[in-house]
Structure 1
Amino acid sequence: MNKHKFTRILTAVLASASIFTFATNAKPTQSTVQAVSVKSLHTLNYSGKDIVTVNGNKPSFSKATKSKKHGPWQKYSNLDYLNRAHAANALLNKKLMPHTEREPLFVDPTGWHNKRISDGWLYNRCHLIGYQLTGQNNNLKNLITGTRQLNDPDMLKYEDKVADYIKASGKHYIRYRVTPIWRGNELLARGVQMEAQSIGDNSVHFNVFIFNVQPGVKLNYKTGTSRVTGATSTKKYKKRTVSHKTKRAKKARTHVIHHKKGTVSTAKQRVVGNKRSKIYHVISGENYHISSSNAVYFPSEAAARAAGYRKSLR
C-alpha cells in the first residue's frame, strides 16, 4: 500500500471516530435517545424533554414472554441491597384488574423526603405497574419515589392507554414492563423506562424513558432531598371520563399517610394480617410489609384478634 493511500484511509477512520465521539457526548435530544442503548439510560441527563423515545419506540420483549399459553401473569424484581425496586413485568389482561377501591399508601420507598411546594406535594409513591392494571398497592417491589410530574401526568397517560385497550375485551393482552433507572448508589431514580406491546396486533406499543423531574425544583438524586428554585406548577393531563367509583378510588389514592416507624399517624393506619397463617403484624414488626396477595387489613389489633388472628412475635 503506498503512503498516500494509507494517509487517506487513516484520515477517514479518524474522521469517523470524531463523529462518533461527538454524537455520544451530545445532549439527549429525541434523535440521540432513540439511538442510545437501554444499558446507557442511566447516563442520560435532563435537557428540557421529560419524555423521550427509546429504540425507535419499539419494545424489546422475547417471544416466550409474549405467549398467552399460561394466561396473564405479573412478576416483580427483588429489592436490592439499598431496598430499591427494579423491573416490574407483566402479561396484562382484564383478569388481573382490581375490583375494589384502593387502600391508602403508607409504605415509604427509598429517597422519600416529601415536602409541600406551591401547588401540592413534591413526591408521589409511584407504582411501577399502576394499581388500575394489577391491583398491587403497598408492595415495595412495585413502588419508587417519583415527582408528581412523573406520576401524573407522564406515567398515567401511558397507563391509561394500556388500561383502555385491556378493558375493551377480555381477549386483549398486553406485554408490559416498567423499569426504574438508577445511577450508582442513588436512592432517587433518574426516571423510568416504560414498554408495552399488545399481543396479536400493534394497537398499543411504546418504549419510552420518562425523567423523574419537577419544574422549579432541584432534586438531590443521591438522597431524595430537594430545593425549590422557581415556579413549581405541574402541567395538566386531560384524562378520560371516569366513573364515580374511579373518582372515589382516586380520592383514596391521593390521601397520603405520613408516619414514622412504630407510630400510628392517622385513623386509617392498618394492622396487616396474613390470611394464610392467621398472624397479624403491626407497623413496628419485622414482617409488616407482606405480600399484598396474602394481606388483609384491620383498623386495630382488637379487630384482628376478634377475627381469629394472633400477633406476630417478631
Structure 2
Amino acid sequence: MSKKTKLVAATLISIAVLAGCSIKDTKPESTSTPATSQKNQMQINDSQDLAALDYRGNQTIEINQNKPTFSKEDLSTANGPWEKYGDLDSLNRATGAEALLNQKLMPTGERGSISSVSPTGWHSKKINGQYLFNRSHLIGYQLSGENANWKNLITGTRQLNSPEMLRFEMDVKYYLEKSPKNYVRYSVVPIFRGDELLARGVHMMAQSIDGDAIAFNVYIFNVQNGVTLNYADGTSTTKTETTENSTASANKEYVDSHGKGLIKGSKSGVYHLPGSKYYDQTTNPRAWFKTVDEAKKAGYRPAK
C-alpha cells in the first residue's frame, strides 16, 4: 500500500492506537443536503479530532474544504483496481476500508444476504415501522460487490446509510459506469470515541484519477432525527419513550408494608426519595408522599 497523505495516515494511525490494530500493508487479495456553507467546513488533523466532534445539526461536514488529501502515489493505477479492509480491532469493530475502484470490482450478480453479520452496537429496532439501524457498508455493495464481510460493515442509522452515504456512493457508481477506464481512489474510516461500540460517524474521501469529476472529503455523523443514541452500546430512546419512562418514574410508588408513603417532603420544599443523599438527614419531614408526581403536585421540588 502506498504511503498515506498526512490526513489519511493520521486517521488510520489514530484508529490503530485506539483500536489496537491497523490495516495491513498488502495489496489486494443514504434528508440532509451537501454541506457547502463555511460553518460546515472544518480543518481536521486526525481521527481523534473527528471523534471529539458533537453533532450540532449539520449531519455532513466538509473536511479540508472538501478536498481529498491522497498523494500522487496513492492515486497510482500501476497495480490495477484493488480493495482492502482493516482487521477488526480488539472490540470487534471495523477499522477502515481502502480501494482503487473500477468497473472490474463492481458486482455483476445479485446481492447476497448480510443478515449473518451483527456489527458492534447492533440492535434490531423499529421506529414508526422502519428499522432504526442498517448494516452499513464502508465501501458500498454497488462499488465492490462485498456482501457479508464483517470488516466492511458497521452499525449505521437509516439516516446515515441513506441518504447521506448513499448520495456519495451513487455519484461514484455513475462515474465508474461511464467508462472502464475510470478509476476512483476511495477511503472510508468509521470513527469511534474511546471504547464505544457504535461509531460516531464515518470519514469518507474519494478522488477520480483523471480530473476532479469525483472529489470529496467529508465526515458524516451517525445520527437519526428524533432519536437519542447511546454510543457506548448502541441502545436508543425516542422522545416518546423518554416521556413514557419519565411518566412511569413519576408514578412509581414508594410505600412501606402498610401502604404509607416513604417519600419525605422537607420544610424547605424539597422531596427526598428513599436511598437518596439527604433522605436519612431529613428527620422531621413536613409531609409524606407515595409518588414523585404526588410530591410535585403538592409543590415540592427534587433535591439538587
Q: TM-score, normalised by structure 1?
A: 0.63
Inter-partner Cα distance in structure 2 for 1:105 and 1:184: 27
- Match 1:79 to one of 76, 85, 88: 88
Q: Which runs of 4+ in 1 moved over 3 A?
A: 29-33
On the 8 A contact 1:191/1:212 being kept in 2, the answer is yes
1:243-301 Cα offsets, whole Å, 9 max, x none, are: xxxxxxxxxxxxxxxxxxxxxxxxxxxxxxxxxxxxxxxxxxxxxxxxxxxxxxxxxxx
Please tell me whether residue 124 in structure 1 is matched to residue 138 in structure 2. no
Inter-partner Cα distance in structure 1 for 2:240 and 2:67: 36
- Match 1:154 to one of 164, 173, 187: 164
Corresponding residue number in structure 1 for 2:52: 43
Please tell me whether residue 34 in structure 1 is matched to residue 52 in structure 2. no
1:121-141 Cα offsets, whole Å, 9 max, x none, are: 000000000000011110010
SS at match of 1:197: strand
Corresponding residue number in structure 2 for 1:111: 121
- Cα offset for 1:32? 6.8
CA radius of gyration, larger in: 2
Corresponding residue number in structure 2 for 1:256: none
- Cα offset for 1:216? 0.6
Please tell me whether residue 56 in structure 1 is matched to residue 65 in structure 2. yes
- Cα offset for 1:105? 1.3
Corresponding residue number in structure 2 for 1:255: none
Inter-partner Cα distance in structure 1 for 2:72 and 2:43: 23
- Match 1:220 to one of 207, 230, 233: 230
Corresponding residue number in structure 2 for 1:100: 109
SS at match of 1:150: helix
- Cα offset for 1:44? 0.4
Q: Unaligned stretches of 5+ in structure 2? A: 1-36, 242-304
Please tell me whether residue 194 in structure 1 is matched to residue 204 in structure 2. yes
Inter-partner Cα distance in structure 2 for 1:203 and 1:143: 27
Alignment of 1:290-301 (within 5 A): none
Over the matched positions of the two proteins, sequence identity in percent amounts to 55
Q: TM-score, normalised by structure 2?
A: 0.65
Q: Give aligned pairs, total.
A: 203
On the 8 A contact 1:30/1:53 being kept in 2, the answer is no
Please tell me whether residue 68 in structure 1 is matched to residue 74 in structure 2. no
Inter-partner Cα distance in structure 2 for 1:88 and 1:65: 14
On the 8 A contact 1:150/1:212 being kept in 2, the answer is yes
Inter-partner Cα distance in structure 2 for 1:179 and 1:228: 28
Please tell me whether residue 184 in structure 1 is matched to residue 191 in structure 2. no
Higher helix share: 1
On the 8 A contact 2:125/2:132 being kept in 1, the answer is yes
Change (3 A) 1:155 1:230: farther
Deviation larger for 222-231 or 151-160: 222-231
Corresponding residue number in structure 1 for 2:261: none
- Cα offset for 1:34? 1.7
SS at match of 2:61: strand
Give the AA of the match of 1:192. Answer: V
Inter-partner Cα distance in structure 1 for 2:166 and 2:118: 20
Give the AA of the match of 2:46. Answer: V
Give the AA of the match of 1:195. Answer: M
